[in-house]
Amino acid sequence: MPPLADTLSVQPRSADPDSEAPDYYELLQISVTAEPETVQRVYRMLAQRYHPDNQQTGDQRRFRELVEAYEVLADPVRRAQYDVIYNEQRKTRFRPVSAPERANNPIEVEQTVRLTVLEVLYQRRRAEPGKSGIFILDLEQLTGQAREHLEFTIWYLTKKNFVAREDNSKLSITVDGVDYLETNYLNHGLRKRLDAHHEAA
């Protein structure tokens, strides 16, 4: 464990199969394919920023989360075990959930799907700027939407210049798409998915 983590004792979370595992890759702002050297470099940078001794940007809760993420992702065995859970959760993370009263409103469902597609592409560009494109097959798996249903969504997003098709047919988010998502995300996308999850629970 790097010296930065020595000042705080971090207890690992209990392994509850019914609870959602934290997104360690998102916490460290790295790709799921990041090399060990990258994991350590990014961790040290963020740990210095959020260390409780840093009077400008210190954040004890965030620092503990970073230490926990690093301890898992820096250990090949623990990372492999975590990746199994992470990949299972990733399959459902972006899937729009419609509450019963919304299920019969195709326009509202479509709006949520559009934001979900943009969210997936946004996260990909943040994590891997040099490889930001995603095939539509991957979007099918991540969003839980059939390709036939996504065709209309992709048509709209490309016509609005929110999404661009790369030479290899992969889809990537544009600057306009980033602005649109960040403007509408909390008011429409994430909140509706979370509300629907709570109502269905």
Domains and CATH numbers, the chain: 3-91 (1.10.287.110), 95-200 (1.10.10.10)
DSSP, collapsed to helix, strand or coil, labels residue 19 as coil
pLDDT of residue 94: 62
- Residue-wise pLDDT tens digits, 140-182: 877 777 888 889 999 999 999 999 998 878 999 999 999 998 8
* pTM score, whole prediction: 0.53
CA distances (Å), 20 to each of 32, 73, 147, 151, 158, in order?
17, 17, 27, 31, 33
